[in-house]
Amino acid sequence: QVQLVESGGGLVQPGASLRLSCAASGRTASAYSMGWFRQDPGKERDVVAAIDWSGGSTYYADSAKGRFTISRDNAKNTVYLQMNSLEPEDTAVYYCAGKMGGYGINHRAYTYWGQGTQVTVSS
């Protein structure tokens, strides 16, 4: 069993940065591939970025490329999403998720989910 807790969301102006953190509990948490997803009300939960258990392989949605960076510190059982140059279109609830095996880009592939953290980008 793995429990995930996100933090770091908030209200920021366009162009600002935020770093989201996802703390994982459980002895085998570092063995899980992790993903960051975001969801607007009434819409599908879409992948933002994903990372394999070692941190050696990553994936970014087109909307995240060049602006967001996913990373992990397995010693701390924590995954991060550094978000720069934020835009109003980035406003959403952001979720971290974990799965065994390689990372996936479909939310249905993930087993464990955090409660979500709100990111609002507005002037």
pLDDT for 41: 85
Strand partners for 117 = 94
pLDDT for 31: 85
pLDDT for 30: 78
* Average pLDDT estimate for 39-57: 93
Residue in this structure with the two tokens 């991060």, named with its chain if needed? 80
